[in-house]
A and B are shown apart, each in its own frame.
Chain A
Amino acid sequence: EVQLVESGGGLEQPGRSLRLSCTTSGFTFGDYDVTWVRQAPGKGLTWVGFIRSRFYGATTQLAASVKGRFTISRDDSKSIAYLQMNSLKIEDTAVYYCARGRSILDYWGLGTVVTVSS
């Protein structure tokens, strides 16, 4: 069974950092791209970025709103993807989801809540 589980969320102050993890199982992680999507309270879905598989050099693309502050990485030996969030802003408050794929997102995790507040 394909599973993705996000962790690492919590309450953090503006300007600080958080690292989210997306721990996966049930599929060959290294063969797949991984996407991060967020959802602010009461709002719709917003794309954060993705990391391609090793076949495409594990390159990343990030949304303009987070470029320069967030990075995405992966550890294929552990089947985990990471979202490093630096210089957090209040507007980064959201539920963060990871999903398998970078175009068609066929499996999603349940999300982890990030709250940025002073």
Chain B
Amino acid sequence: EIVLTQSPDTLSLSPGQRGTLSCRASQSVSTSYIAWYQQKPGRAPRLLIYSASSRATGIPDRFSGSGSGTDFTLTISRLEPEDFAVFYCQYYGTSALTFGGGTKVEIK
């Protein structure tokens, strides 16, 4: 079973700053099977990135994904006020899905 570990737990940043979120898999995975979601309080998650680096429809280009093997990164180039939320990485295998524990990006 693949375990995803996200870091840091909380990231305190100011609008306009760059945010870098990490997701580490317990074993090497295909880049095709990593996704990132954003969740705001009281809201459903929203797909941001799939296949590690492809932006979902309507997602601004300040969001980007990268990585391979066991280490994946979500980067927010310049944080906008609406970007502050919890972010989850996800691995999709052939018969199960796994989510990371999440990183909260909060306003400093």
Contact = CB atoms under 8 A, between A and B. Distances in A.
Interface stretch (B13-21, B64-72, B76-84, B92-100): B92-100
Nearest to A100: B47
A61 B97 CA distance: 10
Contacts of A45: 37, 39, 45, 88, 90, 99, 102
B47 A104 contact: yes
Interface size class of B (residues with CB under 8 A): 20 to 34
Interface in A80-118: 97, 102-106, 108-111
B107 interface: no
A25 interface: no
A51 B89 CA distance: 22
Nearest to A108: B44
A11 interface: no
Given A45-B37, A111-B44, 9 more contacts: A35-B97, A44-B88, A44-B99, A45-B102, A47-B98, A50-B97, A63-B96, A97-B45, A106-B57
Interface of A: 35, 37, 44-47, 50, 61, 63, 97, 102-106, 108-111
